[in-house]
A and B are shown apart, each in its own frame.
Chain A
């Protein structure tokens, strides 16, 4: 090894380290910006276009992207098989996806973290039962369980939220439980206990804050999963009811017109990918920032 090469290596490593630190910031802010834009679009665009999923304008059906409509406006992404503006429909579908995502995470997060806290803190049969239930649930490939429950519940946004919450509580429970187990023996918890803190207080005030960081990381990555599952269920016909726009059902509707109107199936997927990438990168970056030891594939 000559003397020149090591000096170059030294500089390269330092540059890489600096880049890594900047990288985490970009990876948090970038996705947040994108998600923010989509949220704004999801709220505003369907309103701007007066989107009504039930309204059919058959003269305008299946027009390609960029075509000029009869009223002079341009259909940015084309129109679908009943003449609805595809852009508006996609944004309306995104709205549903985001709503379902938020609701699902709220419910499954609350329930999961609560159960995980209980299991980790009390241990014993509570923990054993919870873990056995989790084992059984995890023996189902996740989408399979969702499909099964959705098929018997029937279509409906509320039903989807229930189904997805059932599928997702386990992840939160596990994360919360493992955090509690690792924090349980830390001194500040011992200190709170000796000061006379009751179980309730211990769990909510002392242990819960320690769980928040990994829970937030998990919530972000789970958001992408939830959006994907909702789209998949809607694609299969066991998700949103007829008449409610969804990225998944739009893609499905487009399969009948693949050769003639490729845009109907293609563009909703692009938005799905953007959403999933955004949440995926955000989740990764948050994990790198808060706790690199959580790192897994």
Chain B
């Protein structure tokens, strides 16, 4: 177990370094001249030079990279060009909101997906299963930004039940949570269904039945416990899609989260903030995956006690 932990930790650190490097390269290397992008192609030379100096672009690439990495580790992700504040401050203001949204979406998704997936698995290939599986496939085909707009139209503009923008009070959490949770629910439902079906076909389930245990115990104690293990891994992977979805969803609802900060920074050409946001979101994803891996190790004794 310790070996497993250490290996996953090393991999996570390596991936974090890789992510930071990729973000740096993309923002620094790809555009011909970030200063041009920010100020426009017909800005005066002194302004461009000033921008370059402000952003530290006049130093060598290696030096910039070093400063960037060093800053990333110590918590200094640069200064916002448009807001004149440290990027971390801006992020710190909005990250909790996104976290709240993400957690809510996860909880809602799990609460819905578990019973749906369970029923679909227990009545596999019958009407209920067909409905659930088709429903989840259909839900997954819905573009999240469009469904957000449609829900906004129906519940906010037309019915006037729920607020449409911003974050004031729990009511404004409802629509964004639903939009964020929808694709998650559909994937999770199918995962739980398939995982459970696979486990129910295993020999030890037959043994449990041969012991005369009630179907309830067989399913909820023997089967679910085994099916949960791969599902947890998938939840971690899907969390990344959730985070990506948050970016789009927050734009639709003008929800003050890190996704919206990212999009507005892009529009304002505030590349330090863009870079910082992407880095933070990716880092969160890597850390969540690490935690999920650890949980996997804890839950599966074959991994925990590997010789």
Interface, chain A (partner B; CB < 8 A): 16, 132, 135-137, 139-144, 147-149, 151-154, 224, 228, 231-232, 235-238, 248, 251, 254-255, 258-259, 262, 265-266, 268-269, 272-273, 276-277, 280-281, 284, 295-297
Q: Does B262 touch A at the CB level, under 8 Å? A: yes
Interface centre among A16, A143, A152, A295 (most CB of B within 10 A): A152
By a CB distance below 8 angstroms, the chain A residues around B285 are 139-141
Q: How far is the CA of A268 from the CA of B143 in the complex (A)?
A: 11
Least distance between B271 CB and chain A CB atoms (Å): 8
Q: B11 touches which one: A135, A148, A224, A232 (CB < 8 A)?
A: A135
How extensive is the interface on chain B, given as a class? 35 or more
The reply to whether A266 and B150 form a contact with Cβ atoms under 8 Å apart is yes
Q: Does B62 touch A at the CB level, under 8 Å? A: no
Proximity string of chain B (6-28) to chain A, C-beta cutoff 8 Å, 1 when within and 0 when not: 00000100111011001100110
**Assuming A141-B244, A152-B31, is B15 touching A135 (CB within 8 A)?**
yes
The reply to whether B145 and A235 form a contact with Cβ atoms under 8 Å apart is yes
Q: A251 touches which one: B11, B27, B145 (CB < 8 A)?
A: B145
Least distance between B152 CB and chain A CB atoms (Å): 7
The chain B residue with its CB closest to the CB of A228 is B143
Least distance between B27 CB and chain A CB atoms (Å): 6
Main secondary structure of the interface of B (DSSP, over half): helix
Q: How far is the CA of A255 from the CA of B37 in the complex (A)?
A: 27
Least distance between A261 CB and chain B CB atoms (Å): 11
The chain A residue with its CB closest to the CB of B136 is A297
Main secondary structure of the interface of A (DSSP, over half): helix
Interface, chain B (partner A; CB < 8 A): 11, 14-16, 18-19, 22-23, 26-27, 30-31, 37, 125, 137-138, 140-147, 149-150, 152-153, 157-158, 187-188, 190-191, 194, 234, 240-245, 247-248, 251-252, 262-263, 266-267, 271, 274, 278, 281-282, 285-286, 289
The reply to whether B243 and A136 form a contact with Cβ atoms under 8 Å apart is no
By a CB distance below 8 angstroms, the chain A residues around B142 are 273, 276
The chain A residue with its CB closest to the CB of B284 is A141
The reply to whether A149 and B26 form a contact with Cβ atoms under 8 Å apart is yes
**Assuming A237-B267, A297-B187, is B18 touching A224 (CB within 8 A)?**
no
Closest 5 CB pairs of A and B: A141-B244, A269-B146, A136-B18, A297-B190, A143-B244
**Assuming A132-B18, A235-B248, A238-B266, is B27 touching A297 (CB within 8 A)?**
no
The reply to whether B266 and A151 form a contact with Cβ atoms under 8 Å apart is yes
The chain A residue with its CB closest to the CB of B289 is A139
The reply to whether B247 and A139 form a contact with Cβ atoms under 8 Å apart is no
Q: How far is the CA of A136 from the CA of B11 in the complex (A)?
A: 10
By a CB distance below 8 angstroms, the chain B residues around A140 are 19, 22, 240, 278, 282, 285
Q: How far is the CA of A154 from the CA of B40 in the complex (A)?
A: 12
Q: B157 touches which one: A143, A259, A269, A273 (CB < 8 A)?
A: A259
